[in-house]
Structure 1
Amino acid sequence: MTKPTETVLAYHNRTKHSLERYAKGPESIDWEDQPDQFRRFSGCEIVTLPLPGTELEPLFTDLDNPETIAAKPLNLANAGLLLELAFGLSAWKQFGPSRWALRCNPSSGNLHPTEAYLISTGNDFIKAGVYHYVSHDHHLEQRCRFSDNFADSALLIGFSSIHWREAWKYGERAYRYCQHDLGHALGALRYAAATLGWSVELQAEWSDDDIAKLLGLDRDDFKKQEHESPDIICRINTRSGAMPVDIESLLESAQSGTWSGKADSLRAYHMYKWPVIDEVSIAASKPQTEEPAWKAARQPVIKSSCIQTATKIIRQRRSAQHFDGKMRPMPLGDFYRMLSAVLPGSAAFEFWRWPAKIHLFIFVHRIEGLDPGIYALPRHNDALEPLQTATLTDFDWRPVSEDLPLYHLYSGDCRQIAKTLSCHQPIASDSAFSLGMVAEFGETVQTAPWLYRRLFWECGLIGQTLYLEAEAAGLRGTGIGCYFDDSVHELLGIKDEQFQSLYHFTMGKPLEDSRLETLAGYGHLGGVR
């Protein structure tokens, strides 16, 4: 076992919550010192984007077959719309003097460690260079100006994470949540692109060092502890027949380009330090790799009854805080639709370049036609036997549906169990169902320590799909990062690191807090939405 792998595994085990103790976090929180949600760079040229809020014609169900959606032209308005629908503000909430923003991409604690960059190799509407997106102002800050345009114009989106932003509240476990958020952001980008008739291509070969060089993250432009860690580069395909991106040429342009701007401080005072996050971040850093051209066979998903536009569903996504524990049972067809939407062959996962590593164990509480109890959804056929072997012999693994790989394991009221496992949170028991995302863990991390991050990204991608499916079904979802890791394993019968639970999710009928006022996301810019 390599030293980086040992470091990653040690971090994972160290940051498990248990019934006896929670992972190390701040002993107290100074809410007046909360990190600024919006990163800005002073001294950059600003590119103002057209006012957000444009509605597009495609229905949410049209995204099941994105190839049928006519591609919008690549211009400044549509590039801005892509950024808004993926990372922009969806609303403001206000309670008394307190006011906070919600975004299209969810985040643990609404802290938003994920930063997004637009990279242009030269287009009619924007100069070649690297731009940072500021969601609050819906504009771009030009961080780097390339000296020349490329022969083939390309539009890339780069991602990075500010780990301290999340650690301010969650301490050592925050690194996990940053990876969840990156998965959510990838899903948000995929849905935004599909709505425009575009597609996303993961540039997974890039090393973290190369991403840092392209985005300027290796520059001395950041306050200590508020630096950004590189995540991934995505290409936005707006037409067919585009040439592959030349990594070396892009890096040369970034190295020889003209850089500007310094990152504003997110907050002057740092009460707690979490060196273990820096340790695991270094251990899980990704080198340049050759990635397989793997793609799951496209499978039709069960049709949704939603008649809303995709832009409406994307913009109304919220994380529920409370559920109605007396809700009417969720229609079975809606439940099956959601499960089919998170399988590898669905359109939502078409850009994911690797075989599925995440499988679902579902606590069914209130679903028409299904007995309350525990169910499993192996997301590929080869996982069925290992999951059966690794879990309790009492589970019957009885097939439930001819259309889905859904298996009944146990019948019984599991509401209190689900609540307890999810750090005693009622949202896991007052819902229609909750679930744990269980990863093919040990062998994956042994293969390469940086694959630890990708497991969480896959969980976040599943979570983003479920968030939007919940809205389409007239319900609401919530990602749950707080759960008792090994208690989940004990309940399922998992005894070693072959499988590990990495994320929980729950869905039900939300109870709205009438004390909160909802304001338009871009009302401060003159937008109506």
Structure 2
Amino acid sequence: MNNNALSTIIAYHEASKHRLDGYAPGPGNLDWVNQPDPFRRYAGTQLCKLSLRAAPLQTPFSEVRSGRRQTLAAINLANLATLLELSLGLSAWKEYGGSRWALRCNPSSGNLHPTECYVLAAARDGLASGVHHYVSYDHALERRAEADSDWGSEFADGFVLVLTSIHWREAWKYGLRAYRYCQHDCGHALAAVSYAAATLGWRAQVLENWHDVVLAALTGVARTGEFAEHESEAVDVALWIGCGNAPKLLYTAQTAAALASGLNFVGQANHLSARHVHWAGIDAVHLAAERPVPHSSSLTLSTQWPPLAVIDCLQNADALIRQRRSAMGFDGVSAMPAERWFTILDALLPRPGLPPWEIWQRLPRVHLILFVHRVIGVTPGVYLLLRDKSVMSALRQAIREDADWAEVPGAPRHLGLFRLFAGDVRDTARLISCHQDIAADSCFSLGMLAEFETALNEGAWHYRELFHEAGMIGQVLYLEAEAAGLRGTGIGCYFDDALHSMLGLSGHAWQSLYHFTVGGALDDSRLRTLPPYAHLSGRKNY
């Protein structure tokens, strides 16, 4: 890989770490007047209002998670509307005092929502051919780019979704570290789309060869004059959504380039803030991690796993997806049975045919360091979950010599689950997660440990994909926690090197990229919950 790109990424990664003696560079005080608008809109575009679900989908979450294919839903505008609603749409409004804010099906760091979505569609059901931007507030598509009526014949049996990030939305609050959070959120969105597609019997696949330059042309984000300064978007990834595998034509960058050449863009992006703080380090790492045409990859796992363990959740998938919340606090007493903990961990193994992992045609590079507090039948302590057992030898050499590496009684043998250290680790978990009680008052918390150098040596763009993988793991944990009657929350604030030091790790071979916690949530009775789309008066099917 390019040595300059590698140096830039390493420099950014080190500079954006929180440390015990100081936090990563940030804004200091929040300029609330200039908090970015969470909804992107394009003035001067044609609006296509989407239907909202008239009735719940009769698709149990227990079947969706286990990969049981539902009856295929027709490829039409109404079902596309359902896909967008259950992946990127609003899930509720919260209200306290004079403040009101929206929640979405895809979680976001600080609820700031940097992720935007563009839909490439052939003409159908009253939707014109071209590129459309999804506005979650209105549950509508804006026609961002016009095209001939026969444009998009390559995907007449599906849709292409392109995800982008507005770095400023996260940088407003989190400063230099914001680039990491944008990539986490993209991973959450990828998994959310995969689960939503599965409720319809559809598949979602990454289009590997649709690289950044062509995606910027396809979505119009390369047209910087149509965006306010510092509010432009960065492309993340393109996805095929349909009843089966992506058509072979869509596997080539040439197809994407040809599609881009046939577009006529319209519209001007709304201003999100009046003033901005420019973080040059984010620009630098974004350029260094630009994704060229990658080599074709396939998911060839060194480990094969048995079918995913069945759970007793009776909820329909759409209801469970809509009820997902980020816990603000935990009760410190709730415990979970070991058997349910094992099923949650089992769902994190990247089985190729199951959502969300069928979307991710890469070897697993992220493993879990677990802080177990209240799992019935499991000794409290620090545990390791290997999502690919082939790295066990390397990790045993890297982790402290006094680690136990004890097998866990009752755990399925295929899990690759080991106890490293026994004992009460609540204070350690709290300290490492920026002194936050949520890491200690839960049933368990965790840090996601990535094969950092191995991934980067395969290409600079894998830096952001490591965060995508971590975000996908987070989305699985969110939904699995809900199915278990618990609640989860992502933790973006943690002391990177404090976790490494606890394990005895040095250098950049292994790096912690995201933390998470699951337990019995405390509800805030002061908050009022409102329906997600009650503000769309007169909209059919609400």
Alpha-carbon distance in 1 for matches of 2:258, 2:199: 33
Deviations for 1:411-463, whole angstroms, at most 9, x for unmatched residues?
10000110010000000000000000000001221331111000000000000
User: What's 2:58 paired with?
Assistant: 57
Alpha-carbon distance in 2 for matches of 1:250, 1:291: 16
Alpha-carbon distance in 2 for matches of 1:435, 1:161: 26
**Structure 2 contact 75–242 (Cα < 8 Å) conserved:** no
**How far 1:14 moved relative to its partner?**
0.7
- Alignment match of 1:266 (pick from 255, 266, 272): 272
User: After the TM superposition, which residues 513-528 of structure 1 pair with which residues of structure 2 at under 5 Å, given as runs?
Assistant: 513-526=524-537
User: What's 1:149 paired with?
Assistant: 151
Which runs of no fewer than 5 residues in structure 2 stay unpaired?
none
**How far 1:256 moved relative to its partner?**
3.1
2:151 corresponds to which letter in structure 1?
Answer: N
SS at match of 1:447: coil
What is the RMSD computed on CA atoms of the aligned residues? 1.6
SS at match of 2:415: coil
When the two structures are superposed, what TM-score results if normalisation uses the length of structure 2? Answer: 0.94
2:62 corresponds to which letter in structure 1?
Answer: T
1:367 corresponds to which letter in structure 2?
Answer: V
User: What's 2:310 paired with?
Assistant: 303
**How far 1:50 moved relative to its partner?**
0.7
Alpha-carbon distance in 2 for matches of 1:244, 1:299: 33
Change (3 A) 1:247 1:498: closer
Is residue 482 of structure 2 the alignment partner of residue 471 of structure 1?
yes
SS at match of 1:523: coil
With 245-254 and 137-146 compared, the bigger mean Cα shift is at 245-254
User: What's 1:407 paired with?
Assistant: 418
User: After the TM superposition, which residues 448-487 of structure 1 pair with which residues of structure 2 at under 5 Å, given as runs?
Assistant: 448-487=459-498
Change (3 A) 1:298 1:363: closer
User: What's 2:176 paired with?
Assistant: 172
Runs of 4 or more, structure 1, over 6 Å off, are none
**How far 1:243 moved relative to its partner?**
4.5
**How far 1:76 moved relative to its partner?**
1.2
Is residue 139 of structure 2 the alignment partner of residue 138 of structure 1?
yes
Change (3 A) 1:3 1:250: closer
User: What's 1:498 paired with?
Assistant: 509
With 118-127 and 135-144 compared, the bigger mean Cα shift is at 118-127
**How far 1:124 moved relative to its partner?**
4.5
User: What's 1:356 paired with?
Assistant: 364
1:358 corresponds to which letter in structure 2?
Answer: V
Change (3 A) 1:59 1:43: same
**Structure 2 contact 92–103 (Cα < 8 Å) conserved:** yes
- Alignment match of 1:186 (pick from 171, 183, 190): 190
SS at match of 1:443: helix
Alpha-carbon distance in 2 for matches of 1:253, 1:438: 39
Change (3 A) 1:520 1:225: same
**Structure 2 contact 114–169 (Cα < 8 Å) conserved:** yes
SS at match of 1:235: strand
Alpha-carbon distance in 2 for matches of 1:302, 1:392: 32
Change (3 A) 1:437 1:407: same
Alpha-carbon distance in 1 for matches of 2:351, 2:420: 24
Alpha-carbon distance in 1 for matches of 2:75, 2:69: 18
Alpha-carbon distance in 1 for matches of 2:358, 2:381: 31
**How far 1:150 moved relative to its partner?**
4.0
**Structure 1 contact 283–450 (Cα < 8 Å) conserved:** yes
**How far 1:263 moved relative to its partner?**
0.2
User: What's 1:96 paired with?
Assistant: 97
User: After the TM superposition, which residues 429-440 of structure 1 pair with which residues of structure 2 at under 5 Å, given as runs?
Assistant: 429-440=440-451
Deviations for 1:348-397, whole angstroms, at most 9, x for unmatched residues?
31221111000001000000110100110011111111111111111111
User: What's 2:427 paired with?
Assistant: 416
Is residue 289 of structure 2 the alignment partner of residue 284 of structure 1?
yes
**How far 1:206 moved relative to its partner?**
1.7
User: What's 1:47 paired with?
Assistant: 48
- Alignment match of 2:376 (pick from 368, 376, 396): 368
User: What's 2:395 paired with?
Assistant: 387
With 431-440 and 145-154 compared, the bigger mean Cα shift is at 145-154
**Structure 1 contact 71–239 (Cα < 8 Å) conserved:** no
When the two structures are superposed, what TM-score results if normalisation uses the length of structure 1? Answer: 0.97
Is residue 247 of structure 2 the alignment partner of residue 235 of structure 1?
no
Change (3 A) 1:486 1:53: farther
Change (3 A) 1:117 1:298: farther
Alpha-carbon distance in 1 for matches of 2:258, 2:34: 39
Query: How high is the sequence identity, in percent, across the aligned residues?
Result: 46
User: What's 1:345 paired with?
Assistant: 351
Alpha-carbon distance in 1 for matches of 2:418, 2:245: 40
Which runs of no fewer than 5 residues in structure 1 stay unpaired?
none
Is residue 210 of structure 2 the alignment partner of residue 206 of structure 1?
yes
Deviations for 1:138-181, whole angstroms, at most 9, x for unmatched residues?
00000111113344414110010000110000000000000000
Alpha-carbon distance in 1 for matches of 2:120, 2:297: 24
Alpha-carbon distance in 2 for matches of 1:403, 1:368: 21
**Structure 2 contact 450–510 (Cα < 8 Å) conserved:** yes
Deviations for 1:245-284, whole angstroms, at most 9, x for unmatched residues?
25434433332322110101001112x2211100110111
Alpha-carbon distance in 1 for matches of 2:187, 2:383: 24
SS at match of 2:359: coil
Change (3 A) 1:301 1:65: closer
**How far 1:71 moved relative to its partner?**
0.9
User: After the TM superposition, which residues 312-331 of structure 1 pair with which residues of structure 2 at under 5 Å, given as runs?
Assistant: 312-327=319-334, 329-331=335-337
Alpha-carbon distance in 2 for matches of 1:28, 1:404: 44
**Structure 2 contact 167–233 (Cα < 8 Å) conserved:** yes
Deviations for 1:104-157, whole angstroms, at most 9, x for unmatched residues?
000000000000111113434522210000000000000111113344414110
SS at match of 2:30: coil
1:32 corresponds to which letter in structure 2?
Answer: V
**How far 1:32 moved relative to its partner?**
2.3
With 251-260 and 394-403 compared, the bigger mean Cα shift is at 251-260
Alpha-carbon distance in 2 for matches of 1:326, 1:104: 28
Alpha-carbon distance in 2 for matches of 1:236, 1:76: 13
